Structure 1
Amino acid sequence: MYYYISNSNQAAFNQATEEYFLKNFDENFYMLYLNKAAVIIGKHQNALAEINLDKCQEQGIEIVRRLSGGGTVFHDEGNLNYCFINEGQKGELINFRKYSQPVIDVLQSLNVNAKFEGKSDLTIDGMKFSGNASHIYRSKVMQHGTMLFSSDLNRLNSLLKVNPLKFKDRGIRSIRSRVTNISDHLSTPLSIDELQNKIIQHVQNQFPEIKPYELTDSDREAIKKLMEEKYLKWEWNFGYSPKYKIERLISFANGNILEIELDIEKGRIIRSEILGNCIKMGNIVELENKLLNIPHHKESLLQELKQINLNDYFLNLKIEEFIKAIF
């Protein structure tokens, strides 16, 4: 068994590293890492329904879909993340309590009232500080979880806040819980690096055979390739979302009103309907058809709309206003 402490704070790289370890090694792994500010989407979620996209883009927040299910979480450098990759028996692979126990043990040794609650949550005095998710690959399970240590909780709430009535889909919805930081419950101050070291020491005591692992040049090249071909791609992070419908009614300062319905599948528009008081009647079906098969992605739509004269379809409506209506 190996333990690995990542020296990268890029969410896409660390997600790719987890998948690389899971699918390319026979040995078990325990991995710890810190990401710079990022939003991590569950595999079966509609990314746009889980995040405040405008705020994420304004702040340059990395948005990455992970390999496992579960809800959306916020990472920053006050959030320590762990990943257990373990071989096991079919039907007995998923065990959230077992793989999160080292975190609970360490915190309880620090007189923090940490507990395992519900299906996969870790709490302190009833407030959640860790969510966990898992993914099975052949005879192995990968379980990873967050540990809110000194995370910016106000930023977390603002980035994961979205209008729940805006989207209709069958994606897995995140359940927002009351959360807390570990650091607020420590009787003696501790840094996040010191907590990381205590967890590694505890895992070493549990698994005396465990050895440190350092990435080779070939490892890094393979992880970078996986990151670039998957975890940095719109097709994975947004296009992989389940089929969904978006309904928008928007009023503009000049009195224009626009109502738009879009059906999205595999990230692309498969049906569109446009109504409003600024439409030139008779031509709008032509525009609706031109939107088909375009990715539901601001930059892609903007490029397509630049090839279209919106004055053929609308009275006094700018491209930026139309884009705003779609998102």
Structure 2
Amino acid sequence: MIFIENEGITDPRVNLALEEYALRNFPARDYLLFYINEPSIIIGRNQNTLEEINLSYVEENNIHVVRRVSGGGAVYHDFGNLNFSFITNHDVKSLNNFLKFTEPVIKILNSIGVAAELKGRNDIVVNDRKISGNAQFSTGKRMFSHGTLLLDSDLDEVTRALNVKMSKIISKGHKSVRSRVANISEFLPEPMDIHHFRSFILKGLYREEPDFETYHLSPDEWKAVHQLKEEKYATWDWNYGSSPKFNIQRSKRFPIGEIDLRIFVEKGHIESLRIFGDFFGKEPVESLESLFHGRRYDREEISEVLEPVVIEDYFGALDKEDFLELLYGEDQPDL
């Protein structure tokens, strides 16, 4: 295992660029990356940014908004949150296997009396309160599994900066998402600042992997990381993108996450389809969206388009009939 030193950078645009650069360009070995971001909202790959954030609050408080390449939901980062990323070879036993990558971290937390466990799709919880959310991304050959560790974050900022959807609140069975989130500091026997916590987790992982080594990027590598940041993670197109034109919206929360469809139908044909949500999938939904362009908005034709599609590649464990029903259910609008 090689630990990638991010040199204390707290700009989320640089840190996400570093993570992607390492994934795509470093030799095929196992890596670990830690980073701490200044106040920011990190948007899931498939989400509609403007519907996930409180835009006026974000702008007034100079909070970064950055889209990541992995799926899942929007999360709030600040100086009280430690992010970890395991970068490895892709294999079918690792993709969507969050236990494999969170278990070493959970073991370290357990060693200091924090009764952490993996629960639900991708959350580490203590007493049913979330202290970590996790997501994954795969290129087909390489992948990373990354997550948050809320040590001492300003949890009130979560509800101020994000637009938390009612469907998510209902699905969690709580009156608010804020009530089910916790800081690890609440469960520690002794106070620990974020830098001490970072060192503690890293030393624990070093003990698990005796052949650990630390890697510092070369000036040329940092130049490439900053170029990726400027060309992608610092751009409006990547982080926000234009809101799609649509005349049909259909959304539903499934066990795999929420799927939100925006469909523009003109003269009975699908001119555009956009798929948003906090689901996890191996393949980019853009390739699924493109299959419907120009096709009749008709259940039989939509079913025909879906027939050869492996729907699990885009959403995880979702039944194709459920997606068809969402895309073209019984209650159709008059167009």
TM-score under structure 2 length normalisation: 0.67
Q: Indicate how the Cα distance of structure 1 residues 264 and 35 shifts in structure 2: closer, same or farther if over 3 A, else same.
A: farther
Which sits farther off after the overlay, 220-229 or 84-93? Answer: 84-93
How far 1:27 moved relative to its partner?
A: 2.1
Inter-partner Cα distance in structure 2 for 1:187 and 1:246: 52
Structure 1 segments of 4 or more deviating over 3 A?
90-94, 162-165, 240-247
Instruction: State the match for 2:40 in structure 1.
Output: 38
Amino acid at match of 1:205: R
Instruction: State the match for 1:226 in structure 2.
Output: 228
Inter-partner Cα distance in structure 2 for 1:242 and 1:211: 46
Inter-partner Cα distance in structure 2 for 1:212 and 1:225: 23
Inter-partner Cα distance in structure 1 for 2:223 and 2:82: 25
2:186 alignment partner, SS class: helix
Summarize deviations over 1:273-297 as a string: whole Å, max 9, x none. xxxxxxxxxxxxxxxxxxxxxxxxx
Residue 81 of structure 2 corresponds to residue 69 of structure 1: no
Q: Indicate how the Cα distance of structure 1 residues 245 and 18 shifts in structure 2: closer, same or farther if over 3 A, else same.
A: farther
Instruction: State the match for 2:10 in structure 1.
Output: 9
CA root-mean-square deviation: 2.5
Amino acid at match of 1:204: Y
2:216 alignment partner, SS class: coil
How far 1:82 moved relative to its partner?
A: 0.4
> How is 1:1-327 mapped onto 2 (pairs within 5 angstroms)?
1-6=1-6, 7-25=8-26, 26-90=28-92, 92-161=94-163, 176=177, 178-239=180-241
Instruction: State the match for 1:318 in structure 2.
Output: none
CA contact (8 A) 1:102 1:199 kept: no
CA contact (8 A) 1:32 1:82 kept: yes
How far 1:88 moved relative to its partner?
A: 4.0
Inter-partner Cα distance in structure 1 for 2:225 and 2:42: 18
Inter-partner Cα distance in structure 2 for 1:97 and 1:15: 23
How far 1:210 moved relative to its partner?
A: 1.8
How far 1:8 moved relative to its partner?
A: 0.4
1:135 alignment partner, SS class: strand
Summarize deviations over 1:291-314 as a string: whole Å, max 9, x none. xxxxxxxxxxxxxxxxxxxxxxxx
Q: Indicate how the Cα distance of structure 1 residues 235 and 246 shifts in structure 2: closer, same or farther if over 3 A, else same.
A: farther
Q: Indicate how the Cα distance of structure 1 residues 243 and 96 shifts in structure 2: closer, same or farther if over 3 A, else same.
A: farther
Unaligned runs of 5+ in 2: 168-175, 250-261, 265-270, 273-335
Q: Indicate how the Cα distance of structure 1 residues 79 and 55 shifts in structure 2: closer, same or farther if over 3 A, else same.
A: same
Q: Indicate how the Cα distance of structure 1 residues 35 and 209 shifts in structure 2: closer, same or farther if over 3 A, else same.
A: same
CA contact (8 A) 1:38 1:76 kept: yes
| Aligned-pair identity (%) | 38
2:66 alignment partner, SS class: strand
TM-score under structure 1 length normalisation: 0.69
Inter-partner Cα distance in structure 2 for 1:69 and 1:29: 20
How far 1:207 moved relative to its partner?
A: 1.7
Radius of gyration: which is bigger?
1
Instruction: State the match for 1:259 in structure 2.
Output: none
Q: Indicate how the Cα distance of structure 1 residues 63 and 186 shifts in structure 2: closer, same or farther if over 3 A, else same.
A: same
Amino acid at match of 1:4: I
Summarize deviations over 1:38-70 as a string: whole Å, max 9, x none. 000000000011110110001011000001000
How far 1:119 moved relative to its partner?
A: 1.4
CA contact (8 A) 1:52 1:158 kept: yes
Inter-partner Cα distance in structure 2 for 1:75 and 1:198: 20
Which sits farther off after the overlay, 198-207 or 70-79? Answer: 198-207
Amino acid at match of 2:83: N
1:80 alignment partner, SS class: strand
1:213 alignment partner, SS class: strand
Inter-partner Cα distance in structure 2 for 1:8 and 1:123: 28
Which sits farther off after the overlay, 14-23 or 189-198? Answer: 189-198
How far 1:99 moved relative to its partner?
A: 0.7
How far 1:92 moved relative to its partner?
A: 3.8
Q: How many residues align?
A: 243
How far 1:246 moved relative to its partner?
A: 10
How far 1:93 moved relative to its partner?
A: 3.3
Amino acid at match of 2:109: L
How far 1:90 moved relative to its partner?
A: 3.7
Inter-partner Cα distance in structure 2 for 1:193 and 1:239: 35
Inter-partner Cα distance in structure 1 for 2:115 and 2:48: 34
CA contact (8 A) 2:105 2:205 kept: no
How far 1:130 moved relative to its partner?
A: 0.5
How far 1:187 moved relative to its partner?
A: 1.2
Amino acid at match of 1:147: L
